[in-house]
Amino acid sequence: MKKFKWSALLTIFLISTSSTYAGTAPTVVQDSLQKLYPNINMGAVAWSQDQGYYLGNFNYNGYNVRAFFNGNGQCMMAETDLQTLDDVPSAVYNSFTMSDFASYTVRDVTLVDFPKWQPIYVILVGQPNLEGSTQLFYNPYGQILRQRSTVGLTDILGPSTFL
């Protein structure tokens, strides 16, 4: 009976600790996010973990943003969901419209920012009635850096793609 009580107490402690942890990030990470996005409502940030990074998901200036931080509070990358080609640089837009993928349906457009690299624009395209999509990676000058199929990918656009 005594063993059962200790097991029950330990289980309750582990459950309460994990549910307390869910949705939070260390103070150093939260402070770093606040510095990068000074007007952010910190109460509206949804925190999780993804591939060893703290992931803050929030709205900023009308866009959905996902920022990835290491345990020291350094932002490793941030993804801004632009959704359409309306907010990409003209060089990216022109390069895409002149590519073999111009006739494809644009499913999503994401700006990926890095602290020490140039930003990358990722255009997700597909064709009606065909499974899968293709990601096109552009630098701000319209040069295509790479393309890849999303068929079979579990991490379509996350840290393992870039870091």
What pLDDT sits at residue 53? 95
Total residues belonging to the chain:
163
If asked whether residues 142 and 104 sit together in one domain, one would say yes
Give residue-wise pLDDT tens across range 78-90. 999 999 999 999 9
Q: Residue 120 is part of a domain; what is its CATH number?
A: 3.10.450.360
Total tally of structural domains belonging to the chain: 2
If asked whether residues 31 and 44 sit together in one domain, one would say yes
What pLDDT sits at residue 163? 65
What separation in angstroms does the CA of 5 have from each of 2, 12, 17, 118, 121? 5, 11, 18, 56, 55
If asked whether residues 74 and 88 sit together in one domain, one would say no
For the chain, residues with pLDDT lower than 70 are 1-22, 163
Tokens read off for 37? 């996005």
If asked whether residues 64 and 1 sit together in one domain, one would say yes
If asked whether residues 111 and 72 sit together in one domain, one would say no
If asked whether residues 62 and 91 sit together in one domain, one would say no
Specify the pTM: 0.81
The candidate with the shortest Cα–Cα distance to 151, out of 130, 137, 136, is 130
Parent domain of 29: 1-78
What pLDDT sits at residue 20? 35
